[in-house]
Amino acid sequence: MTKSVIPVGTERSVARQEANPFAFLQQEIDRLFDGFSRNFPAFTTSGAALPRMDVGETDKVIEITAELPGLETKDVQLNLADNVLTVRGEKKNEREEKNKDYHLVERSFGSFARSVQLPEGVKSEDITAEIAKGVLKVTVKKPAPKQSKQIEIKAAA
């Protein structure tokens, strides 16, 4: 695989647009992180892995599925605020092994939050969620489309 030796920022322009050295530094840092995140798409700056999430829709509902292996209902929160649905969770794992030659204790934990913008007018009572075998399935009933009414224009007298 070959890579371009020309630094290209997020705007994909080859020419330098500013002579400001700090702007150039910012472009280089952005390019570095863009390249890094391409290799690790589920990695965040906090070190926690984001769960994979699929969003699909039909005429009547929006279906959201999130892979949450090892999590149960008590480990996950679902919130709706300002038409944004947020899935939050925390995974805690502890393993202990005792043998006559060694004693091993491993602990790991991490939290995540994923958000999805929903259409205007969605109500929390129109949302159902269930988790089974590490997969969260959220179904959101779409609000009825707003009816538009044509207004008659009268000629000025």
Instruction: Identify any residues that bridge with 62 across adjacent strands, giving them in sequence order.
Output: 57, 140
* Residue written as token pair 């939290």: 111
Structure tokens at 47: 């070190």
47 DSSP assignment: S
Extents of the domains making up the chain: 53-141
**What is the predicted pLDDT for the residue at 47?**
44
- Flag whether the pTM goes above 0.75: no
- Taking phi over 0 as left and psi of -120 to 50 as alpha, with beta for the rest, 142 belongs to beta
According to CATH, the topology of domain 53-141 is Immunoglobulin-like (2.60.40)
- Residues 80-96: b if buried by 16+ CB within 10 A, e if exposed: eeeeebebebebeeeee
Helix (H) or strand (E) holding 36: helix 21-39
Q: What does the pLDDT profile of the chain (157 residues) look like in tens digits?
A: 454 454 444 444 444 455 667 777 877 887 777 766 555 545 444 445 678 899 999 999 999 999 988 888 988 999 999 999 999 988 777 778 888 888 887 777 778 889 999 988 898 899 999 999 989 999 999 988 888 889 999 998 7
